[in-house]
A and B are shown apart, each in its own frame.
Chain A
Amino acid sequence: MEVGQMQRQWLDYTRSLFLEGFLDAQFMQLQQLQDENNPDFVVEVVSLFFQDSERLLKDLTFALDQNAVDFKKVDAHVHQLKGSSSSIGAQRVKNACIDFRNFCEEQNIDACLRCLQQVKEEYCLVKNKLETLFRLEQQIVAVGGSIPLVEPTQMSF
């Protein structure tokens, strides 16, 4: 596949991620902050997000597994996850966290467990998508091409 084709493939894939709501405008902000002096900025921040999320999801699983659930603690974890997903533009994870926090307030354990499941699913989905995106980027760079600049107009929303 030649560079032009790869770049188009990257653009199409990126566009689909925005259209399907996996990513929002904040992700574009991250891409805009990346430049020749900070070429790995997006990958670095997203990798941190993966690490952070995995830790938080583990903590949440543990906290909800207790006989006496500490909803304050659960809410604190979800608040953190909501913050970091919002910061990188992982929209569906963020929205799942918002629902989750509502049920924490109600101290509804069953609903919280369902929310946790939902958050885990959304996290897995966006993780796979982003890893695919980064792989496409690596392929482009490997053949000497450059990653297209993302304009909001191209994302048709």
Chain B
Amino acid sequence: MGIASEAPFHVLAVDDSLIDRMLIERLLKTSSFHVTAVDSGSKALKLLGLIEDEQRNEEPPSISLEAHQDIEVNLIITDYCMPEMTGYDLLRKIKESRSLKDIPVVIMSSENVPSRINRCLENGADEFFLKPVQLSDVNKLRPHLLKSKVKDEEHRKINNKTRELTEIHSPR
């Protein structure tokens, strides 16, 4: 089973600090990832094709579950402390989305708060990095990406097989 080497993994980095965005971008690129860096959770959601429906005031705000991902993101790494939407809020929205929930999410924080770390991990975060993030932290990302890549491959194989069988049994 050889996974053919193709385009590098695409990481979406979210941090409101420009310095930290520069840092994480350099760290990721040094590790051969393709990077897109944005400065807020809402920008990240827009990029992922998941836009909050702010128009409806009578009903509770709903989130469009069908994300039409124009770009493929293999991992999201986000700062925890951000104005408006925290990294935790972003994590929750991603995990609640049918189309995005399988994307690994990593949280970064400058503060070592065990309850915060546990809450993130319990709600679907794959890793929690303390800032400043090191190259050794970034090296921990690859297994998460390869795992979801294998999952994607298997889904694709199952879908193809299903299609094949459907065609055989219901000829036009």
Contacts and interface: CB of A to CB of B under 8 A. Distances in A.
Interface in B99-134: 110, 131-132, 134
A138 B135 CA distance: 27
B23 A83 contact: no
A38 B29 CA distance: 11
B25 to A, nearest CB: 10
Nearest to B22: A45
B22 A44 contact: yes
A83 B23 CA distance: 12
Interface string B4-22: 0000000000000111101
Interface string B24-50: 001100100000000000000000000
Which of A26, A30, A49, A83 is the most central at the interface, judged by chain B CB atoms within 10 Å of its CB? Answer: A83
B92 to A, nearest CB: 23
Contacts of A41: 26
Nearest to B24: A87
A132 interface: no
B18 A82 contact: no
Given A45-B23, A79-B81, 18 more contacts: A29-B132, A30-B23, A38-B26, A45-B22, A48-B19, A48-B22, A49-B19, A52-B18, A84-B19, A84-B20, A86-B132, A87-B17, A87-B19, A87-B20, A87-B23, A87-B131, A88-B19, A89-B132
Interface of A: 26, 29-30, 32-33, 38, 41, 44-45, 48-49, 52, 79-80, 82-84, 86-89
